Structure 1
Amino acid sequence: MCLLTLTVSLPTLKPPSCGHEVKAVDCNKPASSLQVGIFYFALYIIAIGTGGTKPNISTMGAEQFDDFEPKERFHKLSFFNWWMFSIFFGTLFSNTFLIYIQDNVGWSLGYGLPTIGLLISVLVFLVGTPFYRHKLPSGSPIIKITKVFVAAVSKWKVTVPNDPKELHELRLEEYAKNGKYRIEYTPSLRFLDKAAVKTRAASPWMLCPVTQVEETKQMMKMLPILIATIIPSVITAQSNTLFIKQGATLNRSMGPHFEIPPACLQAFVTIFMLISIVIYDRFFVPTVRRYTKNPRGISLLQRLGIGLTLHVIIMVTACLAERKRLKIARENQIFGKSDTVPLTVFILLPQFGLVGIADAFVEVAKLELFYDQAPESMKSLGTSYFTSTLGIGNFLSSFLLKTVADITKRHGHKGWILDNLNASHLDYYYAFLAILSFLNFFFFLLIAKHFVYNVDVTESRRGIAMETSGKASSQDNEVLKTGPS
């Protein structure tokens, strides 16, 4: 953020001015290689920093709750709701106040304020560090998973014994000594079991304990869910891109002296998201919990499924709104790139609002699912699945947009997506995304039908605690049971 602030503040780092009388879209004065390089370098630093902080901060926040304390454990069920609430509350501040400052006061102050805010956040984090509950590092989860695959592939001709007890596993004392827990064998992904088959080679790259193999299985079984949540990220990306472009062509006046900045339209998504989270956590969950007996009200996959259904409705709604916009444009002979269609921008409110409501279901559910179903030593890797779906979804959104635009221009056709939305067929593209979302929803249903949740880790810990305290008759029973439920 410091570099970004400098790029809009220092004359040597800013592109040459076009003058106040020239519109930004008509400015052809190029920036220098140095200016472009520093700007993109700052963006890449932000991307790297986001990839390092987001998975770890959310995981660290969840681990501040003690699973052995009933009250804290109950509050932990709402943590991810309020975690996302705080994230989107900051987004609302950015989409309204900061954008207004950037457009009406200056970019230097618009970037300077969040830079100061980040500095204060870092200081608050450092001051609070002594009071946090810390989990000691247990090695790279990527290396652990890689060792399992290397061992399994190296022994692909080896036959897996029918009795899981013949597989390699460490003694319970070795796990207890390091504050870890054994995981019971499960029959899924049997190919990976070859990594635990005992052979003469005792190298960690040739022989892995059952617990390590089961940790790998738990991470692998979430990959189909990750794939199924990429398309929803593509749909969400439209609210930051094409939905904003649509709004820029419409009448954005609110009274005689105020016009909504196009970028501020994203605030509608945030507002509906914040309202939906409060209603869901404070009213929906307590009501439904009485009937389902599920502490979360409904399961994480059910919550995710509701959100995916809303994504289909979002694109159908956006398609209908765009057809209406194009109809008004043609009736009034409006075909210019910068012409304003005589239609209120609030016709887009349903699609922006539905994106916010869907995010309250999809984004929170997949973040909590990836954290909850990841093994204890790989929670950060699990939550990184969440940020991975967002990144891949945004890249895929750009790829689909460019590909559809190129394909629809072939054989002399005008094309669906042009620089001029008043001459485009964005409604066709939205219909395509609606069909894609519909197919993805059925893919998700197929995955959800065969997905098996891990057994509650807290109950397993309590069982082991009782056994290690002498209440069990045999150490062979002191095993963490996180198999299928």
Structure 2
Amino acid sequence: MGEVAEMYTQDGTVDMKGNPAVKKGTGNWRACPYILANECCERLAYYGMSTNLVNYMKTRLGQGNTVAANNVTNWSGTCYITPLIGAFLADAYFGRYWTIASFMIIYIIGLALLTMASSVKGLVPAPSSCDNGVCHPTEAQTAVVFVALYLIALGTGGIKPCVSSFGADQFDENDEREKKSKSSFFNWFYFSINIGALVASTVLVYVQTHVGWGWGFGIPAVVMAVAVVSFFVGTPLYRHQKPGGSPITRIAQVLVASARKWSLPVPADKAQLHETLDKESGIEGSRKLEHTDQFGCLDKAAVVTAEDKTAAAARRGGCAR
């Protein structure tokens, strides 16, 4: 039994088919090159099209410096809000793999559309509308650019919050050797981010300035396509944490239970509370946090009453029948 148990991960991860993940065939460093390559390419694509975006709006969209900077700031802010959506969907419903995969497709569609808006005749401002290097596009041409940018903002919302966590899922915390490797993974992860940002801020900005916007946005689109391919190639090797359901629902349940039991005293011995540290978490794939004295009023939700015991006994009796 012990040898069989050692064959599988002990942290609840599964393979692509939903079976317990086999240690020797999945995860660990064998899965990481595909995740690191994906992150490096994605960051290169993101910084490659965003670093010089103010200049693009000034020269190709005919916007003043203030308007262009404001538009880029709004777009950048959206890129940091959408990860809240992606993280919620990944943890609650889809899992990290499918969230990353789905949002990458949206991301690359946005990059492809932006490349077309800067290179395809009809979407590029006509030469007659340009004066001293500043163009004045039609409303439709401007709209295409902004649709592309906000598709990219939505796409990054599913990648940014999930890739690092998905990489961490490849290492079993219950295995001491893999646990140590997890720290090294994060070193390589942030190294890959900086490499992508460095290339984008130097090489791609030069291309945009001296070669053209079509190439300047086309290269990030191609790089992002490489990121998509890299991610999918590693699919058979990945370990997956199952989504644990909506955290908003669980928070609401705690608040309601605390309000209903507001008049009850909290026992001094926290071991008497429901689901203490000596029990497994009721949420598959989740890790239990240690109890703290912060927000002690919410401990009332875990006070076990006589009614709770009666209801639990009734449920057990129903299952037995």
SS where residue 260 of structure 1 aligns?
A: helix
Checking the alignment, whether the CA contact within 8 Å between 1:231 and 1:440 is kept in structure 2 is yes
Partner of 2:204: 401
Task: State the 1:272 CA deviation.
Answer: 2.8
Q: Which runs of 5+ in 2 are unaligned?
A: 5-20, 174-178, 244-274, 280-321
Task: State the 1:296 CA deviation.
Answer: 2.9
Task: State the 1:313 CA deviation.
Answer: 1.0
The code of the aligned residue for 2:62 comes to N
Separation (CA, whole Å) in 2 of partners of 1:279 and 1:453: 20
Separation (CA, whole Å) in 2 of partners of 1:436 and 1:281: 24
TM-score normalised by structure 2 residue count:
0.55
The code of the aligned residue for 2:72 comes to Q
Checking the alignment, whether the CA contact within 8 Å between 2:75 and 2:153 is kept in structure 1 is yes
Greater CA radius of gyration, 1 or 2? Answer: 1
Separation (CA, whole Å) in 2 of partners of 1:230 and 1:281: 20
Separation (CA, whole Å) in 1 of partners of 2:232 and 2:187: 23
Separation (CA, whole Å) in 1 of partners of 2:199 and 2:158: 22
Q: How many residues align?
A: 221
> RCO higher in 1 or 2 (8 Å CA, sep ≥ 6)?
2
CA-based RMSD of the aligned residues comes to 4.0
1:392 aligns with 2:170: no
SS where residue 187 of structure 1 aligns?
A: coil
Partner of 1:437: 224
Q: Which structure 2 residues correspond to residues 181-330 of structure 1 after superposition, within 5 A?
A: 186-188=23-25, 218-249=28-59, 250-252=61-63, 260-280=66-86, 285=89, 296-323=92-119, 327-330=124-127
Task: State the 1:299 CA deviation.
Answer: 1.9
Partner of 1:331: 128
Checking the alignment, whether the CA contact within 8 Å between 1:367 and 1:386 is kept in structure 2 is yes
The code of the aligned residue for 2:107 comes to H
The code of the aligned residue for 1:364 comes to P
Partner of 1:340: 134
Separation (CA, whole Å) in 1 of partners of 2:72 and 2:187: 25
Checking the alignment, whether the CA contact within 8 Å between 1:315 and 1:434 is kept in structure 2 is yes
Checking the alignment, whether the CA contact within 8 Å between 2:40 and 2:193 is kept in structure 1 is yes
The code of the aligned residue for 2:111 comes to M
Task: State the 1:326 CA deviation.
Answer: 8.0
Checking the alignment, whether the CA contact within 8 Å between 1:317 and 1:351 is kept in structure 2 is yes
User: Which range is displaced more, 347-356 or 272-281?
Assistant: 272-281
Separation (CA, whole Å) in 1 of partners of 2:193 and 2:62: 31
Task: State the 1:218 CA deviation.
Answer: 2.0
Deviations 1:337-366 (A, max 9, x none): xx3212366653223312221121011111
The code of the aligned residue for 2:102 comes to I
Task: State the 1:312 CA deviation.
Answer: 1.6
SS where residue 50 of structure 2 aligns?
A: coil
Separation (CA, whole Å) in 1 of partners of 2:186 and 2:110: 26
Separation (CA, whole Å) in 2 of partners of 1:333 and 1:221: 50
Task: State the 1:234 CA deviation.
Answer: 1.2
- Percent identity over the alignment is 12
Deviations 1:305-347 (A, max 9, x none): 123212321221111221369842512353x3xx321236665
Checking the alignment, whether the CA contact within 8 Å between 1:370 and 1:385 is kept in structure 2 is no
TM-score normalised by structure 1 residue count:
0.38
Partner of 1:350: 147
